[in-house]
Structure formats: C-alpha cells, structure tokens
Amino acid sequence: MDNQEVYMLTDEDGNEHAFIELFSFDSEDFGKSYIVLVPQEVEDETDMPVLPFSFNKDDEEGVLSPLETDAEFDMVEEVMNTIMNDDQLS
C-alpha cells in the first residue's frame, strides 16, 4: 500500500482528508468508470468508511462525481461485495 496514489478530498467545512483507492472498475451497463476510496489512515478497519465515485478516465483533471442513482449505488455495492468476499480477487 506504500505506492498507492493519495486522493485529497475536501469536506463541507473546507478540511482536507487523505484517501487511497480500494479498487476501481468500468461498468458497461452505466457507461462509466468507478473508484472506491477509503481513508488513508483509519483507527478501526472493521468500521472503515468507503466512498464510491464515478469518474471520466479521459478527464486529465481527475474530477470525481457522486453516484447519481440508487441503481448505480446498488451496482457499485454489488461489485464491492463480490471483490471483498472473493479470496482470489482481494
């Protein structure tokens, strides 16, 4: 995990927080790319927050967008559960 890219996200109070990529993937169904981030430093890994975003791979600025629909969120959650519960993928 030492060489992972760090994503700095700013909260609603203007505070910056460091996150790293848990995984990313493309969805043909939604025609988007997705990334799931976790805090770079966490105290309790059993209750670690995850933040899913969509993004445009061709955008050089690296803008992350929130998920737009419940269907999109459900799909990301399903992919995350598959990855986290498959010993060959994690």
pLDDT in tens, the chain (90 residues): 457 788 999 989 999 999 999 999 999 999 999 999 999 987 766 777 899 999 988 777 778 999 999 999 999 999 999 988 876 655
Q: Is the dihedral of CA 82, 45, 70, 29 positive or negative?
A: negative
Q: Which residues have C-beta within 8 Å of that of residue 15, sequence separation ≥ 6?
A: none
Number of CB atoms found within 10 A of residue 44's CB? 6
- DSSP H helices in 1-90: 70-85
Cα angle 84, 48, 66 (rounded to 5 degrees) comes to 85
Please tell me the pTM assigned to this model: 0.81
Measured from the Cβ of residue 65, the count of other Cβ atoms closer than 10 Å reads: 12
